[in-house]
Structure 1
Amino acid sequence: MNKKNLKTRCAFIAGLLGCVAMPAHAEDSNKEETPKGKAIITIFSDIHSGFGHVNDDRGFNLDRAYLGYQYDLSKELQLKVVADFGQSKSVDDHQRIGFVKNAQISWKREKWTLHAGLISTTQFKFQESFWGKRYVMKSFQDEYKFGSSADLAVSAAYDFNDYVSADVILANGEGYKKLQVKDGLQYGAGVTLMPVKNLFIRLYGSYNEASEESGKGITNLASFIGYKHKSFSLAAEYNYQKNASYTDGQDQSGVSAYATVNLSKKVGVFGRWDYLTSKNKWNEENDGMAGLVGAEFRLGKYIKLSPNFRIWSPKAGSMPNSYYAYLNASFSL
């Protein structure tokens, strides 16, 4: 490892220690607070069926199971550990692989929020929260592999006022499924604006250093605008990635638009449209448009059901459209 990378690594470790040290000081000033904890249990599953040439793609599926525990040492200091059990291309489809997704310490005080450890990344967390239907379909950047939802990292966010907040993150860059530490790091920064009530604008950019000399660093840029009302929400986002998979010239981009209408406290309808394209057709077999329409039924506090219909229209003209019917379910404690 050269001197430049050694200095970068030392700075990364110093940042982690700094984030741990500041919460520790905050804890001393709140000794009288009673610690409390809660279990984290979230399960995503579905039954689905394709039609026409994908008629054989049918059956039950356990998409995700999150199991963990959150412990609040004080109003400012929090510890959280979450295990993620999901599908993996490296094993048979009926098997599941377990990973530690979160193992973090968090500190919140006044306008500051700090996270350190194996944490949720900031690349598309805001968009995923606004979309609000991760159990039905991942948000655009997560669905099309523009980045990882968690990583070994340290992040900081600051609320300047009711209208502007900003955040930065320094991450390992490998994602939570590959925690080996190589020479490359990922640097990211974002700003969130709320110019008027219920209207949100989010801008984000990151650079992921290549860990191999032959590779090229990955640049991600994202923009988002959304309006959320108690009765409905509307949103659109544009995403751009340069040098996907650390390969020079493998650029891709895409847009996603989605809307939700709440018919009552227990029933809502929603729709979403995605478009993914790659430069010079390097990823043509995965380029195309996706459409989704459905309804959501909230059965009490913990259970959600969503019957929905989907279409995938490949950009490659030689491939036919694919149609699916799904019934997605979410249990969250």
Structure 2
Amino acid sequence: MNVMKLIIMGMVGCLLSVPALAENNEVQSKDDQKKGSAIITIFSDFHTGFGNVNDDRGFDLDRAYIGYQYSLPHGLQLKAVMDFGQSDDVGDYQRIGYVKNAMISWKSGKWTLNAGLISTTQFKLQEDFWGKRYVMKSFQDEYKFGSSADLAVSAAYKFNDVVSADVILTNGEGYKKVQVKDGLQYGAGVTVTPVKGFVIRAYGSFNEAPEDNLEGITNVAAFMGYKNSRFSVAAEYNWQSNAKNVKDQDQSGVSAYASVQFNKNIGMFGRWDYLDSKHDWNNASDGMAGILGAEFKLGKYIKLAPNFRIWSPKADGVDKSGYFYLNASFAL
């Protein structure tokens, strides 16, 4: 933990010193003026099950993000976001508040640096490409291959219009725990955009074992997708070794998703997931998931997505389940 604190303090110090490098007589352009904006995002839904899950129905408040970001001169930005959502540690009807982001960023030329409680890079591109976080989390987030934010430092460099690379050093515990045990997580990724709209990414990370009797966790991910103004299609493969720090407790899975935009306000989307575990250690959660729905944009800030879902478990003797969802997103 002390090492992490020193690294973050050093990164923050470097970022804060950047403006001092400018000449005193530099005249700020209009784009360099201070700019602030509120962040308010709410995800909610109504859902009802069919058949053996017919009694599972009701309204839900999945997430509420409240924060503020402030753009400073010389490429600096400050951002703080609170996340109010469900937790496995308390009752289903309770909501817990967490600090999701408390970070400083610096962009200059081909470099982007971040420090603090930041968004991780493990599946950020996949989540943005999927674009339906309010409907369902991206694969690695949904099946707990990693956390979407953590106390960390990261750096990204854009070599040219085709190739960029990034590295990240995190606590490895996620933003809900921040740091409760020893060990760090090291990650690196490469993104290739050979033509406009077509993206290929490879990412790998290693999370050190927090205790001597536990195993380190390795994550590997590969992604490929194409998107234009009318449609998108993508697929990803994910593999994790020693899940939950248990030796040989490996798991893997694939996710494929696509969308079609009829006009600026109406579109359709679909997704298919498959999760599998080595020697069926996670058999109760293994299986296939499918989703098919439509998206309606009501003005600038509101989106509605009626959709049907099916879950087909791998375990023998467990029935398939189907749901209808009406997901809603409000984002300022």
Whether TM-score is above 0.5 comes out as yes
Match of 1:87 in 2: 86
**Is residue 186 of structure 1 aligned with residue 185 of structure 2?**
yes
**Is residue 282 of structure 1 aligned with residue 278 of structure 2?**
no
Which of 6, 9, 17 is the matching residue for 1:25? 17
* Amino acid aligned to 1:18: G
Q: How far apart, in 2, do the equivalents of 1:160 and 1:122 lie?
A: 18
Q: How far apart, in 2, do the equivalents of 1:31 and 1:105 lie?
A: 23
Residues 104-135 of structure 1: CA deviation (Å, up to 9, x unaligned): 00000000000000000000000000000000
* Amino acid aligned to 1:152: L
1:260-271 paired onto structure 2 within 5 Å: 260-271=259-270
Match of 2:7 in 1: 15
Cα distance change of structure 1 residues 126 and 166 upon mapping to structure 2, 3 Å threshold = same
1:132-143 paired onto structure 2 within 5 Å: 132-143=131-142
Match of 1:113 in 2: 112
**Is residue 211 of structure 1 aligned with residue 210 of structure 2?**
yes
Shift of 1:87: 0.5
- Consecutive unaligned residues of structure 1, counting only runs of 5 or more, are 1-5
Assess if the C-alpha contact under 8 Å between 2:18 and 2:74 holds in 1: no
* Amino acid aligned to 1:222: A
Q: How far apart, in 2, do the equivalents of 1:31 and 1:190 lie?
A: 37
Shift of 1:141: 0.1
Q: How far apart, in 2, do the equivalents of 1:279 and 1:31 lie?
A: 61
Residues 258-298 of structure 1: CA deviation (Å, up to 9, x unaligned): 00000000000000000000000000000000000000001
Residues 14-48 of structure 1: CA deviation (Å, up to 9, x unaligned): 43233223322322327844312111000000000
Task: Give the match's secondary structure for 2:73.
Answer: coil
Q: How far apart, in 2, do the equivalents of 1:308 and 1:288 lie?
A: 20
Cα distance change of structure 1 residues 187 and 331 upon mapping to structure 2, 3 Å threshold = same
Q: How far apart, in 1, do the equivalents of 2:310 and 2:163 lie?
A: 37
Q: How far apart, in 2, do the equivalents of 1:15 and 1:160 lie?
A: 25
1:1-333 paired onto structure 2 within 5 Å: 9-10=2-3, 12-28=4-20, 29=22, 32=28, 33-333=32-332
Assess if the C-alpha contact under 8 Å between 2:116 and 2:152 holds in 1: yes
Task: Give the match's secondary structure for 1:213.
Answer: coil
Shift of 1:75: 4.7
Shift of 1:317: 2.1
* Amino acid aligned to 2:242: N
Q: How far apart, in 2, do the equivalents of 1:181 and 1:312 lie?
A: 34
Q: How far apart, in 1, do the equivalents of 2:133 and 2:285 lie?
A: 21
Greater CA drift, 218-227 or 23-32: 23-32
Assess if the C-alpha contact under 8 Å between 2:48 and 2:323 holds in 1: yes
- RMSD (Å) for aligned C-alpha atoms: 1.3
Assess if the C-alpha contact under 8 Å between 1:86 and 1:98 holds in 2: yes
Assess if the C-alpha contact under 8 Å between 1:23 and 1:76 holds in 2: no
Q: How far apart, in 2, do the equivalents of 1:180 and 1:150 lie?
A: 12
Match of 1:3 in 2: none
Q: How far apart, in 2, do the equivalents of 1:163 and 1:34 lie?
A: 31
Cα distance change of structure 1 residues 89 and 13 upon mapping to structure 2, 3 Å threshold = closer
* Amino acid aligned to 1:107: W
Assess if the C-alpha contact under 8 Å between 1:238 and 1:254 holds in 2: yes
Shift of 1:90: 1.7
Assess if the C-alpha contact under 8 Å between 1:26 and 1:76 holds in 2: no
Q: How many residues align?
A: 325
Q: How far apart, in 2, do the equivalents of 1:180 and 1:162 lie?
A: 37
TM-score calculated relative to the size of structure 1: 0.95
Task: Give the match's secondary structure for 2:195.
Answer: coil
Q: How far apart, in 1, do the equivalents of 2:175 and 2:259 lie?
A: 31
Q: How far apart, in 1, do the equivalents of 2:163 and 2:179 lie?
A: 35
Shift of 1:64: 0.1
Task: Give the match's secondary structure for 2:235.
Answer: strand
Q: How far apart, in 2, do the equivalents of 1:315 and 1:308 lie?
A: 23
Assess if the C-alpha contact under 8 Å between 1:313 and 1:321 holds in 2: yes
Q: How far apart, in 2, do the equivalents of 1:92 and 1:300 lie?
A: 35
